[in-house]
Amino acid sequence: MLNLAKAGLLSFTGLFYLWLGVVPSAWAFDSAKPIEPSLVLLNTYSGQEEVQGWLLSEKLDGVRAYWDGKHLMSRQGKRFVVPDWFTENFPPFELDGELWMGRGQFENTVSIVNQQQPHNGWQQLSYQIFEVPNQAGGLLERLGVLKMYLQVFPAPYLHIIEQTAVSGRDEVANHLKEMIAHGGEGLVLRDPNTPYYAGRSAKALKVKEKQDAECIVQGYTQGEGKYQGQVGALLCEIVAGQFPALRDSQRVVKLGSGLSDQERREPPPKGTLVTFQYMGLTKNGLPRFPVYWRIRSDKSW
């Protein structure tokens, strides 16, 4: 009787997917070896783009996570060790989003998802979806596939990030000001008519009060004054491709501001990927006023 019930459920599920026009995941695999998925990445909003009718959403301060239809993994393809109850009723097609606890909770989120055994800390998280990869149509149509799925198969920890149409640049600026005032990280702007793609394009933009980039720790300078005997600054090599105008000789940035006393005593080891913030570019294309932010840990898009 149980087997018949399961067969009936599978039959119903298959028909439901067919009716939805869902593209099943071709990505799901059982190998534990990390395979980095190809995902949507964001360019930076300059304030000059014509964005009337585009969709606006909050840029969540969480940990990027990709669901391949079977496993939840990082942007680098490393599987998260997730309790079964967290992924209960997740769909057999791809999802892309953020593991999120709330605004200002990035470090706590990282602590939860990096543990190597399933634990109840995952109850504090939700999986916030901003993309349904490789489905047909524009962004709202792709998200609509998941919305219809959840109406039949509720998944308590799965949520779709709200998308709001904007009238133009002034509205974007107002939304950003309000978001920052409430402790948010920033916004995401996307052209709703663009079919799914992987990589960066001018049709998906991050909107932030401060810009950020990644670099790799190569060495340290010695601290002076009250920081005598500690690290004065990190010497980091900017990850290639982020600032196309930079020559190789310009790719080392010094990050002193932003380091805590603890980080000066115990700095990120050489080879660590870290994130820094800056305020625009100089006339030579260098990031202006670079400030250390934090260790990169499968951070967002």
Is the per-residue pLDDT at 74 higher than 90? yes
Q: Which of 207, 229, 263 is the last residue of a domain?
A: 207
Predicted TM-score (pTM) of the model is 0.72
Give the pLDDT score at 240.
Answer: 84
* Residue 71 and residue 120 in one domain: yes
Active site residue 59: yes
* Residue 199 and residue 286 in one domain: no
Give the pLDDT score at 91.
Answer: 96
* Residue 242 and residue 123 in one domain: no
Catalytic option among 59, 206, 208, 299: 59
Domain count, the chain: 2
Mean pLDDT of 154-178: 96
Give the pLDDT score at 248.
Answer: 79
Least confident interval from 26-40, 53-67, 78-92, 214-228: 26-40
13-26 burial: b if 16+ Cβ within 10 Å, else e: eeeebeebebbebe
In a domain, 193, yes or no: yes
State which residues form the domain around 28: 16-207
Mean pLDDT of 229-256: 88
Q: Which of 207, 239, 254 is the last residue of a domain?
A: 207
Is the per-residue pLDDT at 26 higher than 80? no
In a domain, 254, yes or no: yes
Is the per-residue pLDDT at 32 higher than 70? no
- DSSP assignment letter at 13: H
- DSSP assignment letter at 184: -
The model's confidence at residue 7, banded by pLDDT at 50, 70 and 90, is very low
What CATH number does residue 48 fall under? Answer: 3.30.470.30
In a domain, 301, yes or no: no
β-pairing verdict for 126-131 and 231-238: unpaired
Q: By CB neighbour count within 10 A (0-12 exposed, 13-18 middle, 19+ buried), where does 202 fall?
A: exposed
Is the per-residue pLDDT at 138 higher than 90? yes
Q: What does the mean pLDDT of the chain come to?
A: 87
Is the per-residue pLDDT at 123 higher than 90? yes
Is the per-residue pLDDT at 229 higher than 70? yes
pLDDT tens-digit series, residues 277-288: 887 787 778 888
The model's confidence at residue 208, banded by pLDDT at 50, 70 and 90, is confident
